[in-house]
A and B are shown apart, each in its own frame.
Chain A
Amino acid sequence: MLNEILSALVAVATLQNLLIMIAGIWGGVIVGAIPGMTGTMAVTLALPFTFYMDPVPSILLLVALYKGSTYGGSVSAILIKTPGTASAACTALDGYPLAQQGKAGKALNMALYSSVTGDFISNLSLIFFAAPLAVLALRIGPPEFFMLMLFALTTVAGVSGSSLLMGLVSAALGLLLATVGEDMYGSFRFAFTPDMQAGLSIAPVLIGLFALPELIKLVVMRASKQEEAATLGAQHVTRAEFMGSLKTILKGSVIGSVLGAIPGIGPSSAAFFSYGEAQRSSKNGGNFGKGELEGIAASESANNGACGATMIPLLALGVPGDVITGVMLGAFMIQGLTPGPLLFQTNIHEVYMLLIGMLVSSVLLFFAGKATMRMFAKVSHIPPTLLTPLVLLLCIFGIYSIASSPFDVAVLLVMGVVGFGMFLLNIPAAPFLIAFILGPMLEENLRRALAISRGEPSVLLSSPITWVFAALIVFVLILTVRREILKSKTERRVAQ
């Protein structure tokens, strides 16, 4: 094992890999710092470029983009009170007041230190928990996998958007779209044109769904407003300030790692939970929301703390916990690697390379963020009316270059319109994407389970593991419905 780790370390520590990770982190910070551009967009836009790379560097690039964008969201949250990503919403609560006090540099530095610490702890959790979980997962068969994926889908549907029902509708749409093309026994389904016989590629569907609706919104609604950006001002975080927030940073990192590992939760919820917990337990709780460094520490350590942990279910079970890991699942598959328990047997060298690369990228995040903080602060000023068409251009060229297929470009544009329609109808896009990616596996496992059991549906509840997942699904449904009822009652009370 030690030999394998050492050989993976040597393989990762090449100039090419380091440059790829630095580029990924910078690219991620830039995209994350631009309001309206999300980490998902950063990862999806980079996806076409990874087709031409080796498997591990390509995944490292996407992971670096993910981490960079999660940290980058804090830049615009602090400077212009507009979180670049949803997970940085809590950072704006204390970051912007600090910027108004002339302490934007201090706030950005605290965000960076907290992000790096959270990220490092999260990566350690990935290293320690992914392999044991994969060993456990080796013992499960098609019925258990079907129930596991159904659980992941239910959780994502439950926490995305404002309604469980709409989340489930979105998942059903994604499952249906995934059936287009040839099925496991060679029948063509919904092949309206010859191009559709091979099914719809993952890249145009997910890029269209997540990158293009922003452009359509900008053209149709034209609701873009930009706040005045604050100057960086006071730069350094003193030792006393850092030590004063250390407990919160560590707590936030653990919260991020635990919540990130649960499919469907992701960095945003982790940041909100950590912020609330820090406000409750800190002696400076009363200053939260008025420019408290500890508030930034709580939010940033948790949102970056979730990044590595979201890879645990992906690597060990092959189940993506959120949209970004869904995109990464697509990237793995494009590279011929299938995440899941078998990955730890068939591609252990690549797994070690990935884990080591993720640890290295935490260190790179610190240096890359520190070196270019002033430059990144400027990207918040780019007008969306110029930036969004550039995103469209990148999407079109990127998608065409994957398979030299105008059909894929058409799918990209159509999915953009579908994404916009879902936005208008308040149907969340995340369950759609996860369902589209998991759909073929979900169906295959169901059909295999039914074939093995001679068509007996009770096979889906035939083992203790399937019972556990069924119970978890019911639990998530009850919890989500209860939350929605409480929210609805509160809204009605407020309305009265």
Chain B
Amino acid sequence: MPKPVLRGLIIVAFFALTAFALVPAFVPRPAFIPGFAPPPDMWPRTVSLVGIALGALALLFAVFRPHPDEAPIETDGSSPARMAGRFAGLMLAFVLFLVAIPLLGFLVSTMMLTLCIVLMTGERGHRIWIALLAFGAPILLQLFFHSALGTQFPKGVLTKPFGF
């Protein structure tokens, strides 16, 4: 499917979901509205309906007035499947990071995430810099924010006995 058509479909689907499913379910109307004040769902519903109209326009243009090809996105030449795999890996890293905070604490979790991200960028040289960035930078930042700004970073259930 051409990208402009897919884009139009995604836009219409997202705003339609919001207008017809999310707004009725998650924007409750109060029993009493003072004076002539519009209800709380008026604005999100209006924006969603405008969004549907814009998406439909984008879809129409994509189907009936095809533009010349959009500039390709610059990549390292990897296959789409490989890039999708990298994206999935990154999402997994983000989720694991959020899950790890209560278990391993903020410091250890950020160290793991940084190391993971550096390796995911394909960087294999500069080993000392990688180590400094993954292990040294989080310690420095935690010390700075804790001592200078008084931020209390969460300690992990598993790492609490070790002090972080």
Taking beta carbons and an 8 Å cutoff, which residues of A are in contact with B? 52, 165-166, 168-169, 172-173, 175-176, 179, 183, 185-192, 215-216, 218-223, 383-386, 388-390, 392-394, 396-397, 400-401, 404, 406, 409-410, 413, 417, 424-427, 443, 446-447, 450-451, 453-455, 488, 491-492, 494-495
Q: CA–CA, A393 to B78, complex, Å?
A: 27
> Provided the pairs A176-B44, A221-B83 are in contact, do residues A491 and B68 lie with their beta carbons within 8 angstroms?
yes
Q: A183-B40, A221-B78, A455-B36 are in contact. List 19 more A-B contacts (CB 8 A).
A: A172-B15, A185-B33, A187-B40, A216-B90, A219-B87, A219-B117, A221-B83, A222-B78, A385-B123, A393-B133, A393-B137, A396-B113, A400-B145, A401-B151, A406-B98, A413-B94, A450-B37, A453-B36, A494-B68
- Is residue B61 within 8 Å, beta carbon to beta carbon, of the partner chain? yes
Q: Are A488 and B67 in contact (CB under 8 A)?
A: yes
Interface size for B (C-beta < 8 A) is 74
Q: Could you say which of B35, B70, B151 has the most chain A C-beta atoms within 10 Å of its C-beta?
A: B151
Which residues of B97-153 have CB atoms within 8 Å of chain A's CB atoms?
97-98, 101, 106, 110, 113-114, 117-118, 120-123, 126, 129-130, 133-134, 137-138, 141-142, 145, 149, 151-153
> Provided the pairs A185-B33, A189-B44, A443-B43 are in contact, do residues A397 and B141 lie with their beta carbons within 8 angstroms?
yes
Q: CA–CA, A491 to B67, complex, Å?
A: 8
Which 10 A-B residue pairs are closest in the complex by CB-CB distance?
A385-B123, A187-B40, A223-B74, A222-B76, A385-B121, A401-B151, A172-B51, A221-B75, A455-B36, A397-B141
Q: Could you say which of A216, A386, A451 has the most chain B C-beta atoms within 10 Å of its C-beta?
A: A386
Partner of B54, one of A169, A426, A492: A169
- Is residue B1 within 8 Å, beta carbon to beta carbon, of the partner chain? no
Helix, strand, loop or mixed for chain A's interface? helix
Shortest B18–chain A CB gap in Å is 6
Q: Are B36 and A165 in contact (CB under 8 A)?
A: no
Q: Are B26 and A447 in contact (CB under 8 A)?
A: no
Q: Are B91 and A451 in contact (CB under 8 A)?
A: no
Partner of A389, one of B35, B94, B121: B121
Which residues of B61-96 have CB atoms within 8 Å of chain A's CB atoms?
61, 67-68, 70, 73-76, 78, 83, 86-87, 90-91, 94
Q: Are A179 and B58 in contact (CB under 8 A)?
A: no
Taking beta carbons and an 8 Å cutoff, which residues of B are in contact with A? 3, 7, 10-11, 15, 18, 22, 26-30, 33-38, 40-44, 47-48, 50-51, 54-55, 57-58, 61, 67-68, 70, 73-76, 78, 83, 86-87, 90-91, 94, 97-98, 101, 106, 110, 113-114, 117-118, 120-123, 126, 129-130, 133-134, 137-138, 141-142, 145, 149, 151-154
Q: Are A165 and B61 in contact (CB under 8 A)?
A: yes
Residues in A neighbouring B54, C-beta threshold 8 A: 165, 168-169, 172
Q: Are B98 and A389 in contact (CB under 8 A)?
A: no
Q: CA–CA, A220 to B26, complex, Å?
A: 34
Q: Are A401 and B75 in contact (CB under 8 A)?
A: no
Partner of B28, one of A188, A216, A409: A188
Q: Are B73 and A221 in contact (CB under 8 A)?
A: yes
Q: Are B73 and A169 in contact (CB under 8 A)?
A: no
Q: CA–CA, A172 to B42, complex, Å?
A: 14
Partner of B27, one of A189, A218, A223, A491: A189
Residues in A neighbouring B113, C-beta threshold 8 A: 392, 396
Chain B residue with the shortest CB-CB distance to A442: B43
Shortest B136–chain A CB gap in Å is 11
Chain B residue with the shortest CB-CB distance to A417: B91
Partner of B141, one of A168, A394, A491: A394
Chain B residue with the shortest CB-CB distance to A421: B10
Q: Are A406 and B154 in contact (CB under 8 A)?
A: yes
Q: Could you say which of A169, A183, A220 has the most chain B C-beta atoms within 10 Å of its C-beta?
A: A220
Residues in B neighbouring A172, C-beta threshold 8 A: 15, 47-48, 50-51, 54
Q: CA–CA, A400 to B151, complex, Å?
A: 8
Chain B residue with the shortest CB-CB distance to A488: B67
Q: Are B83 and A220 in contact (CB under 8 A)?
A: yes
24 of the cross-chain contacts (CB-CB < 8 Å) are: A52-B149, A169-B11, A185-B40, A189-B40, A189-B41, A220-B87, A221-B75, A221-B78, A222-B121, A383-B126, A389-B121, A392-B117, A393-B133, A393-B137, A393-B138, A401-B151, A404-B152, A406-B154, A424-B73, A427-B7, A450-B38, A488-B67, A491-B67, A491-B68
Residues in A neighbouring B36, C-beta threshold 8 A: 450-451, 453-455
Q: CA–CA, A417 to B98, complex, Å?
A: 15
Chain B residue with the shortest CB-CB distance to A396: B110
Residues in B neighbouring A447, C-beta threshold 8 A: 37-38, 42-43
Q: Are B38 and A166 in contact (CB under 8 A)?
A: no
Q: CA–CA, A190 to B45, complex, Å?
A: 12
Shortest A385–chain B CB gap in Å is 4
Residues in B neighbouring A386, C-beta threshold 8 A: 118, 123, 126, 129-130, 133
> Provided the pairs A220-B87, A404-B152, A443-B43 are in contact, do residues A393 and B38 lie with their beta carbons within 8 angstroms?
no
Residues in A neighbouring B28, C-beta threshold 8 A: 187-188
Q: Are B61 and A219 in contact (CB under 8 A)?
A: no
Q: Are B141 and A221 in contact (CB under 8 A)?
A: no
Q: CA–CA, A189 to B35, complex, Å?
A: 21
Q: Are B37 and A189 in contact (CB under 8 A)?
A: no
Shortest A220–chain B CB gap in Å is 5
Q: CA–CA, A388 to B36, complex, Å?
A: 51
Q: CA–CA, A401 to B37, complex, Å?
A: 38
Q: CA–CA, A425 to B11, complex, Å?
A: 10
Shortest B74–chain A CB gap in Å is 4
Partner of A385, one of B51, B122, B152, B153: B122
Residues in A neighbouring B106, C-beta threshold 8 A: 400
Q: Are A409 and B68 in contact (CB under 8 A)?
A: no
Q: Are B76 and A223 in contact (CB under 8 A)?
A: yes
